[in-house]
Structure formats: structure tokens, C-alpha cells
Amino acid sequence: MKLHNAMWPGLVGKEPDTDHPPISLDHMLELTTAAEVGGRKYDGVDLFIFHPHTDPDGSDDEIRKMADQIAAAGLSVGSLVAPVWPGTVGGPAFGSDEDRKNFVLAVEKTCRIAGILNDHGVRKSGVIRVDTAGGTEDFAKDPAGNTAKVAETFREAGKVAEQHGERVAAEGEICWGGFHSWKAAVDTLEATAMPGVVGFQADLAHTYLYLLGYNAPEAALLQEGYSDEEFWAAYKTMTDALRPWTIDFHVAQNDGTVHGTGSHDKTGRHCPADDPNGKLDIAKCSTYWLQGAAERGIKHICWDGCMFDNAVLEDPATWNAILKAMIDVDNAL
């Protein structure tokens, strides 16, 4: 399995003119290529298609220039995160007609860039990654109606992706309406009804909180103080339900708390891979999600460390610890 590093931790939760400003794509690539464990290095990167890393309306030449830069670093490109959130290109998948048109437009713009990267040769694998881009409180005002809206929006996005030879994966994360629990995610994906085209993006940190029922107590599979036996039984229930839909995968760690800034409010806290408070056996948990991965077209896995402090992101030890964890995942498969 190829090992990728995510570039968006340099952007998500970062604010200019603060003590945690955005980290440039150039520097994120430098940090990625510097990491090495036992002679093994990262194989590639996954990208967020938005400023300041990537202009979603950038010219073909600008995108090719970025592709040249990544290839020159000895890296390939994998999954691309579409700018579906308000304030970028898109809007909530269960929002107004304009919001939903913009959501699909964000996917279309990302597919265009994917095509340039594919033709260049730097992109070797991956999907177009989205969220529903709308919060749980708004979603809860009409769960059935909003599930139907998300499904319709996702189908339109899926049709666009298919036309470009791409697939769409929606991330399971407790802060996004329609994917705020493992049951809601299954309901939304079944309502979308485009298996193999529109699927699930599993993140170890976020899906851990699915088990505990954050934002959806009715879907909890574990109670605080659970035993090891109870954990693995619950984990099997969740992954058995979502694995058939899973077409993209993020390795991550979680300490059982929630954290967030801005629209990423009350979401799973990503911890350093070697955090002593981490709740997950990263390698073992990953095997539950990645059974039959090749059959679902998964060729690489990616680390996600959203909302790490800049001091953590810029510490070389962080990336070596992450790389080691990802090698352990690969060895466990």
C-alpha cells in the first residue's frame, strides 16, 4: 500500500496573522520529503483544492507547475479534497438550491484539476473527497428531508465525477449533518445509491467517536468504561456496516475528546501518532477498514492530522512518528 501525507493540516484551522498561520504547500512538501523511517519515505500527498495551496480556478499551466513541483520532490498525488464548504466554492449539500449547485460546482472544478494531474502523470490513485458541508443542528431540523437532499446532491456530484473518470468519497465526521453517526452515514449512502461511485471516506480519529455516539447518542455502540472485548465487538459492527462503502482511508489517532475551530466544531481530535493518550491501536483498527481494499480500488492510505499546532506540524519528529505508524499499518495488512 502506498503511503501519503495530507497537505490540508497546513490550512485547516489556520488563520493569517495569528500564532497558527497557514503553512505553505512548499513547506508541507519539505516536511513530507524529509521524513524517513527504516529507509522508507512517503510515496505521495493528498491535496486540498483551495487557496493558498491550490487555486480551484487555476490555469492548466499553474496546475502543471504544481504537478512538476510535487513530482520533482519524488512524490505522487492521490485524493483531492473538493472545496465544498461555505466560504470556498461550495455550500451545504442539504442547503439552498444555490448551495447545492455550488457543491456540485466544487466537485466539477476539482475533477478538472484531477484530470490535469492525471494527464501529467503525477496522480496515481485516489478519489474526490467531500463532506456534506452543513452542520448537525441544521440537519436535525428535518433529518429525513435533509437526507434526501444530500442524496440528490451527491448523485449530481457523482454523475459529474463519473464523467471525469473519478469517484466521490464523503468523510464520516461527527460535525457534518448526514454523516454525524455511523447509522446516518449508512442511511445517506444507501439513499444516494451510487455504490462504486459515491462512497465513504473513513478516518480513524473521527469514526472512533461514532462508537461513543457523540452528536447521535441513539447510535452509540459503546459506553464510557468499555472493556477491550466490547470495543472490538463494537468496532466490527461499525466497520462491517461501512466497509463496503469505504473507498478512501485516513490513518489517524484520537484521545477520545472533541475539538474544533470554525465550521469544524466538536469534531474528533487528531492526536500525534505516538500520543500516550491515544485510544486506538492504529494498525489493528486499520485492518478492519482495509479488508478487501484493493477490490474497492484503494491503492494508498493517507495520514490526517488536522488542527495540530504549527509547532507540532513543523517538528520533524512528528512526521517520522506518523510514517512509522503508517508502515505498521501496511505491515499489518
Interval 163-173 mean pLDDT:
97
- DSSP-based three-state secondary structure for 200: strand
Copy the grid coordinates of residue 33. Answer: 520529503
Interval 131-137 mean pLDDT:
95
pLDDT score for 79: 98
Of 100, 43, 25, whose CA–CA distance to 327 is shortest? 43
Q: What confidence category does residue 145 fall into, taking pLDDT thresholds of 50, 70 and 90? A: very high
Interval 158-175 mean pLDDT:
97
Q: Using the predicted structure, report yes or no on whether residue 262 has a pLDDT greater than 80.
A: no
What is the tens place of the pLDDT at every residue in 200-236? Answer: 999 999 999 999 998 899 999 999 899 999 999 999 9
Read off the DSSP letter of residue 18.
Answer: S
The predicted model scores a pTM of 0.96
A 10 A CB-CB count for 275 gives 15
Q: Using the predicted structure, report yes or no on whether residue 267 has a pLDDT greater than 70.
A: no
Q: Using the predicted structure, report yes or no on whether residue 257 has a pLDDT greater than 90.
A: no
Return mean pLDDT, the chain. Answer: 95
State CA 205 to chain mean position distance.
Answer: 11
Q: Using the predicted structure, report yes or no on whether residue 32 has a pLDDT greater than 60.
A: yes
Residues with Cβ < 8 Å from 170, sequence gap 6 or more? 129, 130, 131, 132, 154, 179, 185, 188, 189, 198, 199, 200, 201
pLDDT score for 266: 58
Q: Considering just the CA atoms, what is the radius of gyration of the chain in Å?
A: 18
Whether omega before 244 lies within 30 degrees of 0, making that bond cis, reads no
Of 229, 224, 279, whose CA–CA distance to 256 is shortest? 279
pLDDT score for 269: 66
